[in-house]
């Protein structure tokens, strides 16, 4: 078994939080100086733990166990959203550091070791999942050249300080036998159920739609109701239909959202001539997502009438990623061995395990978020829960190592 040291784990987490620390919270945006400084700190910590560690030219950090021919990869990310929380993905990276260090300190030997990765720009400041997609070799030609932050800054310019770094690290199918990621839950379910460990069954698929309506703007005081070409009214009817119809399609874990709606020209005394709204659906079941999308498309087509043209496009589609059944079982067994029946749940948020899990058996562990809060300076998790989560992950890795060996 791998016995982690909770005090050292918490010290490292708080040391990492000082890079971009806001007291409370952290502002450590991908490729900022604080982000790169944090990554160099991590390289030093991994090297001190006996791993071969480096920072590559897309900003990924990788630590390799030099004594092992095969390895379990533990990874997550250390970049944050603006004015974000101190744990988020960084907790999973420090878990990897502590488990790799404790494994080597234990004197354990064998054919399987532990590698650790911190992937760049999971949060999508420039390009979502840049690091894990680069690592997996799934970036498409031209994506880096086209990527920009909201302020217009280019990813190409952000990469310039790393031009002399090694070529991008790549997943090694002959070496890496599994991928494990730990994360705060970012939601309220563990805390609400008084459970300490969540085991992720899969990361949900995402489909986003842009629904637009085009009618004719006119004076709202002088245009009779029956003679209006009201683009806004068409979208309001669709939004109301979503609230009534989607529950009939949904499974227990299906979620949906109308995230934005805009009328133009946007004045109280003008009939909207144009309107737009954003709709998102998430679930693990592709067939269910297909049915919901088909029903929404049919409703959009039906609203294209009375001089108003309504259309729908799907700018974003992310396929769901199931977690490996054997790793799910190992995580659940490790939690149970510590006296904690785990909650089996999907992840409604995207994670690097979503990308790596497409090419490698993967699993995820959650620990509770106090108040269900994430991506905010008040984000926090009880110290005891952080330590427990790391030990459960370490025990699960021991189980996986035994199976692989």
405 residues of the chain, pLDDT tens digit each: 899 999 999 999 999 999 999 999 999 999 999 999 999 999 999 999 999 999 999 999 999 999 999 999 999 999 999 999 999 999 999 999 999 999 999 988 778 999 999 999 999 999 999 999 999 999 999 999 999 999 999 999 999 999 999 999 999 999 999 999 999 999 999 999 999 999 999 999 999 999 999 999 999 999 999 999 999 999 999 999 999 999 999 999 999 999 999 999 999 999 999 999 999 999 999 999 999 999 999 999 999 999 999 999 999 999 999 999 999 999 999 999 999 999 999 999 999 999 999 999 999 999 999 999 999 999 999 999 999 999 999 999 999 999 987
Are the CB atoms for 308 and 214 separated by under 8 Å? yes
Three-class secondary structure of residue 111 per DSSP: coil
**Beta bridge partner(s), residue 178:** 72
What pLDDT does 1 receive?
A: 83
Three-class secondary structure of residue 199 per DSSP: strand
What pLDDT does 36 receive?
A: 98
Are the CB atoms for 224 and 360 separated by under 8 Å? no
Which backbone phi and psi does 95 adopt, to 5 degrees? Answer: -55, -45
Return the number of other C-beta atoms located less than 10 Å from residue 240's C-beta: 10
Q: Give the ranges where 58-129 is alpha helix by DSSP (H).
A: 90-105
**Beta bridge partner(s), residue 379:** none
What pLDDT does 169 receive?
A: 98
**Beta bridge partner(s), residue 344:** 199
- Distance in angstroms (rounded) separating the CA atoms of residues 40 and 295: 50
What pLDDT does 110 receive?
A: 75
pTM above 0.85, yes or no: yes
What pLDDT does 35 receive?
A: 98
Tokens 């982690």, located at residue:
4
Q: What is the DSSP code (8-state) at residue 256? A: E
């Amino acid at each position: 078994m791998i016995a982690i040291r909770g005090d050292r784990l918490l010290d490292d987490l708080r040391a990492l939080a000082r890079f971009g620390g806001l007291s409370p919270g952290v502002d450590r945006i991908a490729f900022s100086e604080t982000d790169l400084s944090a990554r160099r700190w991590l390289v030093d910590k991994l090297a001190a733990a006996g791993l071969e560690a480096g920072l590559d030219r897309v900003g990924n950090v990788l630590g390799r166990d030099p004594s092992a021919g095969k390895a379990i990869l533990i990874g997550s990310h250390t970049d944050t959203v603006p004015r974000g929380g101190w744990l988020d993905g960084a907790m999973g990276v420090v878990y990897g550091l502590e488990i790799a260090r404790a494994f080597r300190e234990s004197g354990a030997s064998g054919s399987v070791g532990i590698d650790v990765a911190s992937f760049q720009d999971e949060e999508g400041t420039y390009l979502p999942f840049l690091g894990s997609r680069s690592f997996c070799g799934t970036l498409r030609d031209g994506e880096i050249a086209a990527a920009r932050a909201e302020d217009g800054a280019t990813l190409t310019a952000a990469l310039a300080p790393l031009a002399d770094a090694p070529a991008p690290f790549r997943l090694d199918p002959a070496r890496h036998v599994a991928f494990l990621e730990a994360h705060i839950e970012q939601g309220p379910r563990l805390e609400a159920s008084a459970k300490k460990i969540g085991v992720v069954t899969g990361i949900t698929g995402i489909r986003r739609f842009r629904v637009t309506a085009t009618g004719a703007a006119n004076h709202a005081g002088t245009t009779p109701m029956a003679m209006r070409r009201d683009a806004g009214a068409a979208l309001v009817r669709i939004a109301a239909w979503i609230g009534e119809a989607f529950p009939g399609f949904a499974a227990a874990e299906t979620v949906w959202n109308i995230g934005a709606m805009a009328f133009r020209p946007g004045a109280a005394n003008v009939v909207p001539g144009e309107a737009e709204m954003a709709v998102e659906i998430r679930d693990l079941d592709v067939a269910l997502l297909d049915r919901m999308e088909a029903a929404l498309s049919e409703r959009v087509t039906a609203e294209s009438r009375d001089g108003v043209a309504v259309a729908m496009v799907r700018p974003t589609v992310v396929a769901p990623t199931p977690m490996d059944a054997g790793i799910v079982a190992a995580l659940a067994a490790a939690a149970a061995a510590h006296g904690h029946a785990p909650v089996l749940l999907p992840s409604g948020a995207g994670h690097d395990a979503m990308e790596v899990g497409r090419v490698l058996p993967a699993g995820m562990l959650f620990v509770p978020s106090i108040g269900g809060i994430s991506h905010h300076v008040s984000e926090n998790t009880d110290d005891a829960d952080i330590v427990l989560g790391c030990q459960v992950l370490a025990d699960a890795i021991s189980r996986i190592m035994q199976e692989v060996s």
